[in-house]
Structure 1
Amino acid sequence: MAGRRSERSIVISRTQATRLAKGTMTARLSRFLLGYGGTALATGLQVILLPWIAITVVDLPALHLGWVQASVLLPNLVFLLFGGVLADRRDPALVAGLACLGLALCHSALLLYFSYRVPELPVLLLYGISLGTCTAFLQPARDNLVHRSAHPAETRSGHSGVQHTVTWMMLAQYGGQAIGMLLASRFDQWGLERLLSIQVSVLLVAAVLLFSLRLSSREGPRRRQLPLTLIVEGMTQAWQRPALRELIALVAFNGFVHIGVFLVVLPLLAEDYGRGASYYATLQLAFIAGTVIATVTMLRRGQGQEPGRGILMCLLYSAALLVAISFGPTPLGLLVLCALWGVVAAASAALGRAVVQILAPEEYRSRIISIYQLALFGSAALGALAAGVVSEYAAPFTTLRWAGIASLLAFAVLLLSGDLRRYRVESHD
């Protein structure tokens, strides 16, 4: 009897410990999603405010708008890989929290400057470069927290569990961006100062939440290596995986053609339609609404076991949407097409980021994430410059049409290659 009672007490204590661990992990996941959503909310505000300040407040032409948009992305070419190294060698929660504080400082500086005078092109370029530098350190560190923050039930389910956690992360991102864009749509009523103050406050809260995810104990001192050596190690690991190698190449193309066009052409179209900042914000919200719909659908149905095939189909759908927009839809039609574009972009992004999380070894995860993001945002900076040049000498609709044709050609090339198309995700019961 005493032995049975002892065994029962052990079982009860293990059950209580398991419940306590699950509760702790659930709270950790909640803090991660709230912190991630807070940084996304600040980004949603930034996406609307920065180009609209350039167009309406400073009255910049299309070419200069391309430079302003590229200034946020160009620092990725320099700092993103170093951000991945730092997040692999230090606690990524600490790195992410400090990056949030840096972003809050950038917005505070613009708020202080704007209280005295209207910013000019050099000020906006400096502001964009500062934001891009902080973001380059934030992104790989923040995404590396996925595995640390996941619920035990998700990690036990294998690769499909990682996909599910990444989808939750994407929902936090798109939901936060949607709220930020809703706030930015009040630009004409609230003014720049109030919206910048909201950005600063949200980023400070996000920093606290991300700081709370730090681990109490860390590994002992590691062998000292030069940052460039660590970067080369990450690149080697990515190159040795054919599906990952092909995915990174596709992401670079998407950044150059799709994000670059989106950043420059969309605000120009909104201005041509003559409906003010609220219409531009509505276009962005339609895009985000599409991303939320796609993400919720993926949460319910899963990402499937052939993410590579899905990513390629998203490329084909993007080509069709770009060509459709290039024919000059009505204002309502443009809203609908932007929403559909958001659906496709969200599906492609969730599938791609899940593949990276699965294929990247733990020791190199932040570095491979930074390579993936460098391919996306570094090429997006160059794409924004190219879209600005083309739109300066041709109609924005022409830029969209050429982007659609290029996407069709890329789809044909990747379809023939087949490494990404044949990749399958294993599921463990």
Structure 2
Amino acid sequence: MISKLAALLPDLSPWRSSRDFRLLWGQGLITYFGSVMAMVALPLQIKDLTGSPLAVGAMGAVELVPLVVFGLYGGALADAVDRGKVIVLTEAGLGLLAVVLLVNSMLPEPLLWPLYVVAAGVAALAGLQRPALDSLLARIVPHDQLAAAAALNALRWQAGAIAGPALAGLVVAYAGNVPAYATTVVCFVLSVLMCLRLSPVPPVDNAAKPSLRGIAEGARYAWSRPVLLGTYAVDLAAMFFAFPNTIFPFLAQELDADWSLGLMYAAGSVGSLVVSLTSGWVSRTRRHGLLVVFGATGWGLAIAAAGWTANVWLVLLCLALAGAGDMLSGLGRSTIWNQTIPDELRGRLAGIEVLSYSIGPQLGQVRAGAMAGWSGVRPAIWTGGLACVASVGLLAATLPKLLTYDAHTDEDARRRAAHHTAPGT
């Protein structure tokens, strides 16, 4: 019995085998907590300066275009230069932007416009950095440990998503913006010092320089691989139809449970964390395409149930189940990407991933808000969940290779495993 329970615990092999993975895991945790401080303080500071919900919402608008544009360029850049250097320089840039926030918050009358400039700058640097980070994993972790590494990374993010905002909220509420931004600066200094210790990760021989042609080459590769195309399409569909976070305040009000709003935002992360803590079985899974489809289907069904029920506790349970489904789908997607994409294209494909995960939730919030205004809050949620299930089913039928993907027989996965090396161990 004990051995069976132990088999469910996260596989720690990537920690033991790769020094660079340990560095990136710790650096990511530190960066996340520093970033959350700013993520909580920044919109609250805009609210205090303007008193306008529209002014707060405008922050998302100024972030979207830089994230998409620099995400695509960052993907091409990650294939052309040392990915570790990209991470160090962008991390340092994010730290400098945190200094701007700190200095501005210390003025007798803080200015509004630097807050939007920083928000756009953070989105641009995050877009440049994310492809380098995502594409680095397969270079520093043994091929047979990629699924375990994805689960450990997810565990880090989900733990941070639950504890980080709560801690940041306390700091901002009781100490103010200056200590929050100062904490962000300190975290980025520590992060840069850790990133400087990473082993060099030079590009492959004859790597192409960043260009529109190179970006288009990555897009053509993704389009020619039904398995990859399916992972992107399923994620987009799930987020577009069933991402109702923007209308949670209205749902809490309709259920006469304003106290539950924070729990609604945290519930999904709780469900994801449970999956991460019991992810030991993922290392023994071969059919990762099934994880993508079943996880996204479970996400849609749980969101539909959350919109259908009028009991707030059942709503929270459904949102937790939705988070669990999303985590299963995310583990499948991440593993397929790392197992199949050639290293010379990995950065550009990670850039396309940035496009996928940034546009889906943004458009999903627009859909949820528009539907809520037209049909009501709860119908907007449950119809979106059902539409998610239907669209995922249609995509699975249209792209059957996603369902039949097997890490042991897929040609791309076998080719990648044959050429894989993991420096920095």
- The alignment's TM-score, normalised by the length of structure 2, stands at 0.80
Out of 186-195 and 390-399, give the one that drifted further: 390-399
**Aligned residue in 1 for 2:124:** 133
**Aligned residue in 1 for 2:20:** 28
Deviation at 1:46, TM superposition (A): 5.1
Of the three residues 84, 88, 112, the one matched with 1:97 is: 88
Deviation at 1:143, TM superposition (A): 1.6
> 8 Å contact 1:75–1:136 — kept in the other structure?
yes
Task: List runs of 5+ in structure 1 lacking aligned partners.
Answer: 1-21
What amino acid is aligned across from residue 181 of structure 2 in structure 1? L
The reply on whether 1:241 has 2:220 as its aligned counterpart is no
**Aligned residue in 1 for 2:320:** 339
Distance 1:109 1:146, change over 3 A: same
Q: Partners in 2 of 1:271 and 1:103 — Cα distance?
A: 37
Q: Partners in 1 of 2:322 and 2:20 — Cα distance?
A: 33
Q: Partners in 2 of 1:395 and 1:113 — Cα distance?
A: 41
The reply on whether 1:425 has 2:407 as its aligned counterpart is yes
Deviation at 1:96, TM superposition (A): 1.2
Task: List runs of 5+ in structure 2 lacking aligned partners.
Answer: 1-13, 418-425
> 8 Å contact 2:368–2:381 — kept in the other structure?
no
**Aligned residue in 1 for 2:74:** 83
What amino acid is aligned across from residue 352 of structure 1 in structure 2? R
Superposed CA RMSD in Å reads: 3.3
The reply on whether 1:409 has 2:409 as its aligned counterpart is no
> 8 Å contact 2:236–2:357 — kept in the other structure?
yes
Map 1:217-296 → 2, pairs under 5 A: 218=202, 222=206, 225=209, 227-259=211-243, 261-262=244-245, 264-266=246-248, 269=251, 280-296=261-277
Distance 1:222 1:308, change over 3 A: closer
Residues 306-344 of structure 1 deviation map (CA, whole Å, 9 limit, x = unaligned): 111121112222222222222464554443333222212
> 8 Å contact 1:325–1:400 — kept in the other structure?
yes
> 8 Å contact 1:314–1:345 — kept in the other structure?
yes
Deviation at 1:53, TM superposition (A): 5.2
Residues 56-103 of structure 1 deviation map (CA, whole Å, 9 limit, x = unaligned): 774434x66554334333322211111011111111111112222222
Q: Partners in 1 of 2:374 and 2:34 — Cα distance?
A: 33
The reply on whether 1:372 has 2:353 as its aligned counterpart is yes
Distance 1:426 1:99, change over 3 A: same
> 8 Å contact 2:307–2:379 — kept in the other structure?
yes
Of the three residues 155, 172, 184, the one matched with 1:199 is: 184
What amino acid is aligned across from residue 172 of structure 1 in structure 2? R
What amino acid is aligned across from residue 358 of structure 2 in structure 1? F
> 8 Å contact 2:72–2:215 — kept in the other structure?
yes
Q: Partners in 1 of 2:210 and 2:182 — Cα distance?
A: 39
Q: How many pairs were matched up?
A: 394
1:197 match: secondary structure: helix
Out of 403-412 and 49-58, give the one that drifted further: 49-58
- The alignment's TM-score, normalised by the length of structure 1, stands at 0.80
> 8 Å contact 1:182–1:281 — kept in the other structure?
no
Out of 340-349 and 77-86, give the one that drifted further: 340-349
Of the three residues 316, 322, 339, the one matched with 1:358 is: 339
1:305 match: secondary structure: coil
The reply on whether 1:400 has 2:381 as its aligned counterpart is yes
**Aligned residue in 1 for 2:193:** 208
What amino acid is aligned across from residue 182 of structure 1 in structure 2? A
> 8 Å contact 2:219–2:349 — kept in the other structure?
yes
Q: Partners in 2 of 1:110 and 1:399 — Cα distance?
A: 37
Q: Partners in 1 of 2:366 and 2:312 — Cα distance?
A: 26
1:133 match: secondary structure: helix
2:401 match: secondary structure: coil
Q: Partners in 2 of 1:46 and 1:399 — Cα distance?
A: 31
Out of 90-99 and 381-390, give the one that drifted further: 381-390
**Aligned residue in 2 for 1:110:** 101
